[in-house]
Amino acid sequence: MMNSFEAMEDSQTSEWMTQLESAPVSRSEMNILVMDYLITEGYRDAADSFMKEAGVESSIDLDTMSERIKIREAMNEGKVDQVTEMINDFDPELLDMKPMLYFHIQQQKLIEFIRANKMEEALTFAQRELAPHGEEHPEILPELERCMALFAFPHPESSPFGDLMKPSHKHLVAGELNAAILESQNEQTTTKLHSIMRILLWAQDQLTQNKVSFPKMDDISSGVISNTL
């Protein structure tokens, strides 16, 4: 990585830091962004408390959020049958429109069978449900193959495909599901904070690529600027 700090003036850095700390965004605007995040990501209780504590309005009715939240929470816990039932009550066409999402949900069911060591049931399920789906939608085949490979290992969690067994995989599918529901309701699928952070990552890379020197925020979650003189 280019380190052109030797060339940068001390005064430029301190001016940058002063601007950084002088809060161009008001508290009320910040709170709107955070509220938008909590709602879009489905953190119902946090949104409720935040609304009271910060005095922010919610942009959508928190009750219509409930179904989406329940579905998301069930998915986070890997309760696939419950999830499928709820989705079909909520929006029967949703899974038809999104074969990849449907596959991911079914795949999770398979993973849960494997986790519970119900190998026979897992195999039957794979043959009955997943294989035909793969025939109809060939784009899922590479992922299906990965998943089936779990059968080959006595300890799937420590196999090369162990990431599928982690809780984070459930969260991933839950996120995908959440976005699909939002999309089907014509709500924004990504939070404003996500958009802003993506601009940050892109802009820093663009500047670096163009060899412009500037104080870079290497660790965004801590807000620390590295490379100060």
Partner 1 sequence: MSEDRISRLYPHVQESLLPRAWSSKDRWQFIKLSRGNLRVHYNGQGKNHKDAASVRATHPIPAACGIYYFEVKIISKGKNGYMGIGLADAKVNMNRLPGWENNSYGYHGDDGNSFCSSGNGKKYGPTFTTGDVIGCCVNMIDNSVFYTKNGMNLGTAFQNVPQNLYPTVGLQSPGEIADANFGDRPFMFDIEGYMLEWRTKLREQIDTHVPSRPQDSELDLTLKKLVFSYLIHHGYCGAAESFAKTTSLYFFEDIPSIQNRQAVQRLVMQGLISEAVAQVQQLYPNLLSEKPELLFKLQIRNFIEMIATLGGASQTHPYSIARLMNGKEQDEDKMDVDHKSDDTSESTDQQPNRRALEQLLLFGRDLASQNIQNEELKKQLKDAFSLLAYRDPRQSQMGYLMEPGQREQLCADLNSAMLESHGLPRQPPLELAISQTKNCVVKMLESGMGSGAYTGLEKQVKCSLKPQQ
Helix (H) or strand (E) holding 45: helix 44-54
Of 60-68, 120-128, 176-184, 218-226, the window that binds partner 1 (rule: CB under 8 A) is: 218-226
Residues in the chain: 229
Residue (15 or 93) nearer to partner 1, CB: 15
**Over the range 179-216, which residues count as b (16 or more CB within 10 Å of their CB) and which as e?**
bbbbeeeebeeebeeeeeeeeeeeeeeeeeeeeebbbb
Q: Does 229 bind partner 1 (CB under 8 A)?
A: no
Of 3-11, 50-58, 114-122, 152-160, the window that binds partner 1 (rule: CB under 8 A) is: 50-58
Q: Does 223 bind partner 1 (CB under 8 A)?
A: yes
Could you tell me which residues are beta bridge partners of residue 219? 224
For partner 1, the binding residue among 23, 61, 136, 186 (CB under 8 A) is 23
Q: Does 196 bind partner 1 (CB under 8 A)?
A: yes
Of 58-66, 106-114, 178-186, 190-198, the window that binds partner 1 (rule: CB under 8 A) is: 190-198
Residue (16 or 125) nearer to partner 1, CB: 16
Give backbone dihedrals phi and psi of 219, rounded to 5 degrees, phi first.
-110, 95
DSSP 59-99: SS-HHHHHHHHHHHHHHHTT-HHHHHHHHHHH-TTHHHH-H
Q: How big is the site for partner 1, counted in residues (CB under 8 A)?
A: 56
On whether the CB atoms of residues 99 and 140 are closer than 8 A, the answer is yes
Taking the complex as a whole, how short is the minimal distance between the CB of residue 4 and partner 1, in angstroms?
13
Taking the complex as a whole, how short is the minimal distance between the CB of residue 137 and partner 1, in angstroms?
23
- Burial class of residue 136 (count of CB atoms within 10 Å of its CB; 0-12, 13-18, 19+): exposed
Q: Does 186 bind partner 1 (CB under 8 A)?
A: no
Residue (131 or 196) nearer to partner 1, CB: 196
Helix axes 27-40, 192-209, angle to 10 degrees: 110
Which residues of this chain interact with partner 1, rule CB under 8 A? 16, 19-27, 29-30, 33-34, 37-38, 43, 45-50, 52-54, 175, 191-208, 210, 212, 214, 217-218, 220-225
